[in-house]
Chains A and B, each alone.
Chain A
Amino acid sequence: MRRRQFIHVAAAYLLLPAAVKPCVAARSASKRHKNIFFDERFPRARLLAASWSDVDTLTAVQGDITPFWSDGLDRMCTESPLRLRGVTTDSFQFCLRILVGEHADVAAQVTRLDQNLFVWTMSTLPKPNNGTTPWQSRSHRV
């Protein structure tokens, strides 16, 4: 990491509300997050996401969950536990939480960072089959 970038990252961390810091620290010491989302419209989000050391996949977003959900997240959250993390706008984390919650039990922690951004983590555990015949196998008149 270049010196200038390090200073930006350090500054971004220092600007975090106190409530966020323990969460960030605790997470970085525990399991890695498979997917990290940051809102690329906001430099602060970019810097903060870059500062997280437990990154497997860093994904730039712009507020709309739709393309990411239909591009594999929908399937992933039904198949295995996920550890998701992000610094995004509220709508992104809200929609993600609701969508994931249909297929998995979700433990979420959300903290407001500033006027636009929220820092969040979500740990998911797939729900059992919902007990109905999957609609994919049905297409006939009753």
Chain B
Amino acid sequence: MAEPLPPGLNAERMAEALERFRRIVGSDWVFAGDKVASYDDPYTIPNNPKLYKAHAAVAPASTDGVRAIVKVANEFHVPLWTVSRGKNFAYGGAAPVLSGSVVLDLSRMNRILEVNEEFGYALVEPGVSYFDLYQYIQERGLKLWIDVPDPGWGSVVGNALDHGVGYTPYGDHFGMQCGMEVVLANGEIVRTGMGAMPGNNTWQLFKYGFGPYVDGIFSQSNFGIVTKMGIWLMAEPAGYRPYLITFPREEDIEQVVEIVRPLRLNNILQNAATIRSLVLDAALFTTKSQYYSGTDPIPGSVARQIMADQEIGMWNFCGALYGPPAITDVLWAATRDAFASIPGVKFYFPEDRKRRPDILIHRADTMKGIPKLTEFGFLNWNGGGGHVGFSPVSPITGKDAIKQWRMVSGRVREHGFDYMGLMAIGFRELHHVTVIVYNQNDSAERQRLDELFGLLVREAAAEGYGEYRTHIKYMDTIAATYGWNDNALMKMHQTIKDALDPNGILSPGKSGIWPRHLREERKA
């Protein structure tokens, strides 16, 4: 199948634009024809192969290269879909919302420009992965920890821009970014915060600079191309003690979350801890068919067998204590005492876990910032599948947690999938991330997943729960749920979009934000 063209551009003009891109980056770094397939979404959902399909890709090596590409894109009206490393799997990977876009692949911009141990930060380009940054720090013996999401191959910049989370006290990645360099659609380069002042030496130390704080408008957006970003790094603590607390009943989630809230607000829970469901944890190291031959969700008896075999609960709370023992001992006593009232609760440290591989031994690494790919194991639950995340946000209350769990797990099971969910504890909010694992080679199952996802979004929105992040297929759907006051927020996004990117060349459709000419075309 020939690669699709974007609206309003014919094959000759596109070929001319690609030739101009080749002159900028070299012919080795413009990908067309069969080389475009590597930019496809590996976990595609729609059954229409023409959707979310790039026409080509171009990979510059520098900010100047990005500027030059943007100028050509403006001249030819070529839509560019920017990816840092293209590893945002479950959210679309490197695939564009608008078919026919040219992927602007920043993975060659992979320089670690500075790691500052004294002040605890790094300045990196978008192509730097968590593996890269971790290796850099380890090789130099720096006393710094990074914070990693589950897949270590992702981009430090890209994950922060997409509001990704990790599991140390620095788990809010966008919250830990400080200072950006951005190429605007007109080719101008902007440095945000203190970076706007020539000769300043606090670009990665103070976020706000002077005047409006603009960094946020470049996250989950299509208003500019971030080519450098500062990220704060955690000083290696004097002590570290990961732990696992298990709870035997699904309904325990209500009481668990009620206990978590004051612990988090009082900073007794120091890190971005998670409460994970049985199947999500079990699936890392076992498969469904090892326990159950049915194709429907596992019954309670099987769940109890898995719990016994793997020494985990229906919910599993993984957290960690950071600091000298004199401090962590006190924090642990407070944590343990708070949860002790839940019937059947069990407490574990790594030395208590004899099974290998083991969930706590694995998470002990991620909660100290060691990048891994272990979490991809859950894709094997049904024998190899795609996955998509449904991620509504709620307050940290037991009432909200059990309501969300009932809503989502009920619908997920009704549609024939096992519930694989986690509740990630933020500073004030709870991200309820449900991973739906599906057979990507089964078009009927993908259709069922699509129907389920739409239902989940609608029902969550009706209860006031909004998603914080989503797959490219659902960006318009989710954006539409943020429609307060006659879509005032989207109107503002569109005003900014039209001002900064009048030709609409940057990532059309990202987060539901479309440039003017495509808004009108879509209406028509």
**Which of A's residues lie within 8 Å of B, judged by CB?**
41, 62-66, 69-70, 89-91, 94-95, 98-99, 101-102, 112, 114-116, 118, 128, 130-133, 135-136, 138-142
- Chain B residues contacting A135 (CB-CB under 8 Å) are 110-112, 128, 132, 136
Majority DSSP secondary structure for residues of A touching B: loop
Instruction: Please report the C-alpha to C-alpha distance between residue A103 and residue B90 in the assembled complex, in whole angstroms.
Output: 23
- B383 and A116 within 8 A (CB): yes
Instruction: Please report the C-alpha to C-alpha distance between residue A128 and residue B61 in the assembled complex, in whole angstroms.
Output: 14
- Chain B residues contacting A63 (CB-CB under 8 Å) are 284-285, 377, 380
Q: Shortest beta-carbon distance, A125 to chain B, in Å?
A: 14
Q: Could you list 22 examples of A-B contacts with CB < 8 Å?
A: A62-B285, A63-B284, A64-B373, A64-B377, A65-B373, A66-B152, A66-B373, A69-B373, A90-B379, A90-B383, A98-B153, A112-B384, A116-B287, A128-B28, A131-B26, A132-B108, A135-B112, A139-B113, A139-B115, A139-B140, A142-B123, A142-B228
Instruction: Please report the C-alpha to C-alpha distance between residue A95 and residue B26 in the assembled complex, in whole angstroms.
Output: 29
- Per-residue CB proximity of B357-373 to A under 8 Å, as 1/0? 10000000000000011
Instruction: Please report the C-alpha to C-alpha distance between residue A98 and residue B129 in the assembled complex, in whole angstroms.
Output: 14
- B374 and A89 within 8 A (CB): no
Q: A62-B357, A115-B287, A142-B114 are in contact. List 7 more A-B contacts (CB 8 A).
A: A63-B284, A64-B377, A65-B373, A69-B373, A90-B383, A99-B153, A140-B113
- B377 and A118 within 8 A (CB): no
- Chain A residues contacting B228 (CB-CB under 8 Å) are 142
- Contact A66/B112 with A112-B384, A131-B29 known, Cβ cut-off 8 Å: no
**Which of B's residues lie within 8 Å of A, judged by CB?**
26, 28-29, 38, 42, 61-62, 87, 107-115, 123, 127-128, 131-132, 136, 139-140, 152-153, 228, 284-287, 289-290, 357, 372-374, 376-377, 379-380, 383-385
- Chain B residues contacting A99 (CB-CB under 8 Å) are 153, 373
- B384 and A89 within 8 A (CB): yes
Instruction: Please report the C-alpha to C-alpha distance between residue A65 and residue B153 in the assembled complex, in whole angstroms.
Output: 12
Chain A minimum-CB-distance residue to B129: A102
- Chain B residues contacting A115 (CB-CB under 8 Å) are 287, 289, 383
- Chain A residues contacting B385 (CB-CB under 8 Å) are 90
Instruction: Please report the C-alpha to C-alpha distance between residue A85 and residue B445 in the assembled complex, in whole angstroms.
Output: 30
Q: Shortest beta-carbon distance, A41 to chain B, in Å?
A: 8
Residue of B42, B284, B384, B385 most packed against chain A (CB within 10 A): B384
Instruction: Please report the C-alpha to C-alpha distance between residue A136 and residue B61 in the assembled complex, in whole angstroms.
Output: 16
Chain B minimum-CB-distance residue to A90: B384
Q: Shortest beta-carbon distance, B84 to chain A, in Å?
A: 13
- Chain A residues contacting B109 (CB-CB under 8 Å) are 132
Chain A minimum-CB-distance residue to B114: A141
Chain B minimum-CB-distance residue to A112: B384
Instruction: Please report the C-alpha to C-alpha distance between residue A41 and residue B380 in the assembled complex, in whole angstroms.
Output: 13
- B42 and A94 within 8 A (CB): yes
- Chain A residues contacting B284 (CB-CB under 8 Å) are 63
- Chain A residues contacting B379 (CB-CB under 8 Å) are 90-91, 94
Q: Shortest beta-carbon distance, B460 to chain A, in Å?
A: 28
Q: Shortest beta-carbon distance, A33 to chain B, in Å?
A: 22
- Chain B residues contacting A62 (CB-CB under 8 Å) are 285, 357
- B111 and A66 within 8 A (CB): no
- A66 and B372 within 8 A (CB): yes
Chain B minimum-CB-distance residue to A99: B153
Instruction: Please report the C-alpha to C-alpha distance between residue A91 and residue B373 in the assembled complex, in whole angstroms.
Output: 9
Contact of A139 among B108, B112, B131, B286 (CB under 8 A): B112
Chain A minimum-CB-distance residue to B374: A64
- B384 and A141 within 8 A (CB): no
Q: Shortest beta-carbon distance, A64 to chain B, in Å?
A: 5
Contact of A89 among B62, B131, B380 (CB under 8 A): B380
Instruction: Please report the C-alpha to C-alpha distance between residue A76 and residue B24 in the assembled complex, in whole angstroms.
Output: 31
- A116 and B380 within 8 A (CB): yes
Instruction: Please report the C-alpha to C-alpha distance between residue A114 and residue B288 in the assembled complex, in whole angstroms.
Output: 13
- A91 and B111 within 8 A (CB): no
- Chain A residues contacting B285 (CB-CB under 8 Å) are 62-63
Chain B minimum-CB-distance residue to A63: B377
Q: Shortest beta-carbon distance, B41 to chain A, in Å?
A: 13
Contact of A116 among B153, B289, B357, B372 (CB under 8 A): B289
Q: Shortest beta-carbon distance, B60 to chain A, in Å?
A: 10
- Contact A132/B61 with A91-B376, A94-B379, A115-B287 known, Cβ cut-off 8 Å: yes
- B287 and A89 within 8 A (CB): yes
